[in-house]
Structure 1
């Protein structure tokens, strides 16, 4: 799978609307992409998409879980106010990024809308100095109250509407839901790599649901599958003006390996060794507290699952112009593949000796 193919995969994934709790569309896209590379594929009762790739080790072989969440931030209808739609966030919507954005309201049919607010000309001086709040915003569908009430009801989902942009140099991409469809794309890339080689361990590729509202899919998937070890794949902050170097990572600098209490030191070291051995650039992120990713849920599932975290640097997180470098996505998928191929019984036994 080359860069052009992975970019096309990412376009398909990001254009599917999948707000937390309503991930059917992107899960169907991911299933179509994963199916050629796995032994079997299903969705569990929580909605997680699970692809199983059988290893060569037979019954005694350990199992590896690779998880990337497939849901995205969005909103939900709370009120129809004279034809205008009031809404509440689903996940971490930033009001600063919303004014003027195009959206789709998932009513009886998909309805195009735009997010509006009172224009600055009609605000008092004090109001112009205040921070914009969700309560100040509404969605304009261009419909009257009666028309809107026939098409929309309280509880309908609202997704952001933004195509994926290929930037000038061709390496960087910007759009919505790259947190974390990029992780899902790297998971698919890894599956394609493993389809061409022999590996000892069994691998579960899991596109988890509802991460943005409490890592819920990771909780149920890790409990149900009970793997011997796991890697979560997500995004982290990319360097940009105003972001301190210790809080951001270079786009194009390779995947970011998490270090901290959530992450098993043997697995962290294994990722570093493999990256150096195969001449893959990587970066390191200290995470002293609980990680705000699926890795947090996986680590404390059942009696504990040794786990680690790979992150893709991403600028403008939780906006419609999230930006990444496609090379980081490919490097993440490749490192995941080398990691899966390195797992044997001796490595898993060594996880108990720290």
Structure 2
């Protein structure tokens, strides 16, 4: 298991895992959890780790989604260029001119085509839809057809970097940061005697609809759950009232679909253990796996905790690793207090 938090985050983010094709990311995450409890990968590609007293009346589910946004190959054109579409909510504004890896029979390096500004007559201010973009592999039609098939996945390439202090940038921090928080929570609890059952669910397909969390929650039948995702961190142009602060701790969600007593307990624990936090107030659903989990079977009381993140759905997402550590501590304290 990887104990250093930054190394853990980089290892998780380096494993490719677009929606419906999370196997490599799942294997890495399952290995990280394997020393904490009985760990498996289910038929939906979810990673499941069981800890604590699995026969107890109270069964806690902690969820974070495993998949990342990317692209999917739709066809190979007669000139060897690949046509693609979104696989999850990739931000199309960052795609033109970006280097990518195409996961065909072998990983291939390509470039998302872009028009020279000299030829666009003002079109440089416009971004075409993703299904109108193409990828240049530098291959002939025959070579491309030999190595690539429709349905193959594509990820934008970007370096993983340590920034100043405890901040890092990497692709896939949405939501490998949440996965890292749950793995660190499991590490904090692995030598504890828990009176409740605890299940870590690193779920598939969130970026395509949350099917992994939906089926996972249905099969695991938790008595309560906490979903961990990322949310918007303060940056220029973002209303401070609608975002968290890097290094300011987890964002504790408050929404009609979430369970108010669980939310209040998280707030109490944050204050009691001097864990910095902020509130994230939403007027309806949360847009996270919490929405699917809360309505599983006859209903699951569900809370939500988010890690502040900048530049969501781009290959240069930024977090503060302190917020991951704070989130893990808050969740561990919550689990320890459940009888």
Is TM (by shorter chain) over 0.5?
yes
Match of 2:45 in 1: 47
Query: In 2, Cα distance between the equivalents of 1:129 and 1:113?
Result: 23
8 Å contact from structure 2 (residues 86, 131) kept in 1: no
Choose the corresponding residue for 1:264, options 259, 268, 271: 259
Counting only pairs closer than 5 Å after superposition, residues 251-290 of structure 1 correspond to structure 2 as 251-290=246-285
Counting only pairs closer than 5 Å after superposition, residues 78-97 of structure 1 correspond to structure 2 as: 78-81=74-77, 82-97=79-94
Instruction: Describe the SS at the equivalent of 2:4.
Output: helix
Name the TM-score, length of structure 1 as normaliser. 0.93
Q: Is residue 2:183 matched to residue 1:162?
A: no
Deviations 1:128-160 (CA, angstroms, capped at 9, x unpaired)? 343433244211111111111111111111122
Contact 2:232 2:243 (C-alpha < 8 Å) held by counterparts: yes
Aligned-partner Cα distance in 2 for 1:104–1:130: 24
Residues 117 and 136 in structure 1, CA contact (< 8 A), matched pair in contact too: no
- 1:320 is aligned, of 290, 315, 318, to 315
Deviations 1:57-79 (A, max 9, x none): x7344110000000000111112
Aligned pairs for 1:1-354 within 5 A: 5-38=4-37, 40-55=38-53, 59-81=55-77, 82-125=79-122, 127-167=123-163, 169-344=164-339
Partner Cα distance (1:162, 1:117) in 2: 18
2:56 and 2:197 in contact (8 A); partners too: no
Structure 2, unaligned stretches of length 5 or more?
Answer: none
User: How much has 1:238 moved relative to structure 2?
Assistant: 0.5
Q: Distance in 2 between matches of 1:157 and 1:48?
A: 19
Does the CA contact (< 8 Å) of 1:15 and 1:163 recur in 2?
no
Length, aligned pairs only: 338
Residues 194-214 of structure 1, C-alpha deviations (whole Å, 9 max, x = no match): 013222111000100000000
* Residue deviations 1:153-203 (CA, integer Å, cap 9, x gap): 111111222232110x23111111000000000000000000132221110
Moved more, 135-144 or 70-79: 135-144
Question: Which segment is superposed worse, 46-55 or 179-188?
Answer: 46-55
> Residue 35 of structure 2 aligns to a residue in which SS?
helix
Separation in structure 1 between the aligned mates of residue 56 and residue 151 of structure 2, nearest angstrom: 47
Say whether the 8 Å CA contact 2:70–2:90 is kept in structure 1.
yes
**Does the Cα contact within 8 Å between 2:55 and 2:197 map onto a contact in 1?**
no
Q: Please give the root-mean-square deviation of Cα atoms over the aligned residues, in Å.
A: 1.4
Q: Give the TM-score normalised by the residue count of structure 2.
A: 0.97
**In the alignment, which residue of structure 2 is the partner of 1:351?**
none
